[in-house]
Structure 1
Amino acid sequence: MALSFLEFLSAVFGWVYFILWSLSFYPQSMLSYSRKTTSGTTVDFPFINCLGFTAYAISNAALYYSPLIRAQYAARYKGLTPTVQFNDITFALNGIVMSIVTTSQYFFPRVWGFTPSKGNKPSRFILGIFFGCIVGVIAVIFIVLGSPERDSAQGSLHAWVWLDVIYSISYVKLIVTIIKYSPQVLANYRNKSTQGWSIIQILLDFGGGILSIAQQGIDSYLQGDWSGITGNPVKFALGNVSMIYDSIFIYQHYVLYRGSDGKADENDSLLSGDEDAERQERRID
């Protein structure tokens, strides 16, 4: 009876966090649309999210649907199955679509009827992460292609197999999650304001993070083995890292910059570090 209740609770937590996280993609694009501008925010966040959620969708789909990947996972983790749920896949697909929509508001402001603003180009830092992740995954693919046991389930215990490619793809999402919020935290700091940055998306994201971790904990308890977390570290880290950044944004919005409307020309402080450096060089010249 207790197990049945925990299974039910896990399913409820899974769908509720899926709904909260899925809804969190909409407030920012809606706010920008209502303001007819993306000022106050940077393109770095939605742009790198496109890569992150594509990686997340691929890795989750492989762990959920692929017989080979699931067999290699079971061999490596004592016969257990991945803790990926169907809602993880649908969440990732929704994330891809909305990240593309939000990014388009920066790249094509006139199509949306927006007033063009500065900060619509990804910074060198974000571009470096973007292409570095792609190169890293390609490198792992070549390593696995050179492994004679890449298609073996038992080979996952001591050799490079296709499961390792899926892990490398999933770590792209982890890397993206760790760094994607930092440009916006910096933009808020420079503006001394959170104007233009939707706090509603942050609150939804925070609630989803709590329930995501709770669901994974329940699933691991039901399996009687915490490798449900160690075997899927990206999902666990996704909730934790997001909540840390969410806490920073909540502090900025409700405490640090409460009631602040930003500087007279807010766009000036939306420049990336690279653009700031170039401007300083022009002044020196």
Structure 2
Amino acid sequence: EKTGLKEFLRTTKQSFDLSVKTQYKKNKDKHSIPIPLDVFYVFMNHNINSFIRQFEKGRHQALVSFTNAYNEAKLKFDKYKVEKSLNNQPRIFQIPGYTIPLFNIEASPSTVKMLPFGYVIPEEISTPSFTIWGSDFYVPPYTLVLPSLELPALPVPTSPLEFSLPELKILSTPRNILIPALGNITYDFSFKSSVMTLNTHVELYNQSDIVVHFLSSSSSLMDALQYKLEGTSSLTRKRGLKLATALSLSNEFVGGSHNSTISLTKKTMEASVTTIAKVQISTLNMN
């Protein structure tokens, strides 16, 4: 009562019924959207030769650039090796002999000969000999000569590989996309209580024309809560487009109607609108 609901509620305990129902009926019609595969095939076949020529040109330029860069690097590396070999003598690192205790193994001295143009990569390695005291076990020394570091000549094919693409052929598969047409939809809403009853019905039909119908009404002990709202809209697609809309509202205080029509053809466009409104309250009366 403190919130002001005592004017609407007949008792302190209220109950209501709520019902919602939606139904969809499938439409057998389908919309066919063509896929322009023929245009795609013609475009590809006309431009495939140009693509091959551009590809071969780019491949030739890439091969020439890589070959020139490799040959330049090889010349600089060979020149560097010759200059270092003339100015520097090979360095030989001596590894003295040593004895492994507990096992009585004696290793002879060994050497590592480095390249004259660098002290990272060895040219020749002499392994030590191993002898076990008090036995006939003996491992002789070995000399390992590593191959010299050099860049090999890059073989360049005199006749480049042929590159070709197959000709595109039109497939026999369907070249249309089928989309189901919109079906019929029905929606019902119902609300019942001790104060008022509200019903709403909406339906959409998609046949030769698209029609939407809307109806909402209420009944109540209070006249202010009673109303009826109805509307219909149709779209006709014969000989152009025609959209017709009609709305009506009736209530104790507010009422009116609206009618409009819009027609579109290839040459003309027509439109008409009619609206009537009525307001009746204690302080205002207007039509």
Give the TM interval when normalised to the shorter protein.
under 0.3
Q: Larger % of helix: which?
A: 1
Q: Larger % of strand: which?
A: 2
Bigger Cα Rg: 2
Query: So what's the TM-score if we normalise by structure 2?
Result: 0.18
Q: Give the number of the structure with larger relative contact order, counting CA–CA contacts within 8 Å between residues 6 or more apart.
A: 1
